[in-house]
Structure 1
Amino acid sequence: KMNVSFFPRDAVDFFMRAISKIKQDREKETHTGRVDFLQLMIESQKSTSNDSNEANPSHKALSDIEILSQAFIFIFAGYEPTSNMLCYLVYELATHPDVQQKLLQEIDTVLPNKAPLTYEAMMQLEYLDMTVNE
């Protein structure tokens, strides 16, 4: 163990306890709700322990720690790329006021008087789409 952490210990402990509780709740009862990655890992662990690895001795079930670690990664993996992209977008808009002005004009045209944002309005924001994708 390297004893290196990217997150505060109390935050890690909080999420690990929450994920562990969800896992315990799902193991107690037959989970009939939506199927997500955590549920798939739990079911894989159950089926491997039920089969007792006789049919496929090279197949190793995930341990509880591995399931908790994967769930933790799933939770945080989506935040970093999104925040980096938004920071870069804001930087680019700040350094290119002409692009920022054109984007603002498009938003004001599609959403006059601070109209509520709808799916149809989002589909009309082509310059915004191009700006984000670039």
Structure 2
Amino acid sequence: MSRRMARWLAPPLLGLAATAAAATLSWTATPAAVRVAGPDRDYHSQPLTPPAPAAGLVPARLSWRYRARGGPPPRAWLCQADRCLRLHGQRGRASAPAGWDGERPLRFRFRLADGAGPVRVEQLRLTVTGPAPAQSSE
């Protein structure tokens, strides 16, 4: 990878990191807070998409965090379309489900625990890591 390419892949404000030796990329998203208010209903974060330099990155590892205020934490998932990964806890790491597409957005999904009152889920953060997409030669 040329120096010019390395600088382009790792601008500090994109939340993107490149590791040449391991040939991996990562990107981070911090969506707005989500109010989870009613029972028997799912609430979703805004769509989370990679910045342009990470487009096509196939998710391999995920790390997340969020904080619930106002009551017990809701049940949580990270979803791509209708394929969801259950998140066990307000912070954690997991392997991405096989078949997740690096071009499609991800969303946090929340649902109140049985009998729980409304909560505000805030300080959401998702980091996606995976192998760098293959570069075409010119």
- TM-score over 0.5 for the pair: no
TM-score (norm: length of structure 1): 0.20
TM-score (norm: length of structure 2): 0.20
- The structure with the larger Rg is 1
Greater strand share, structure number:
2
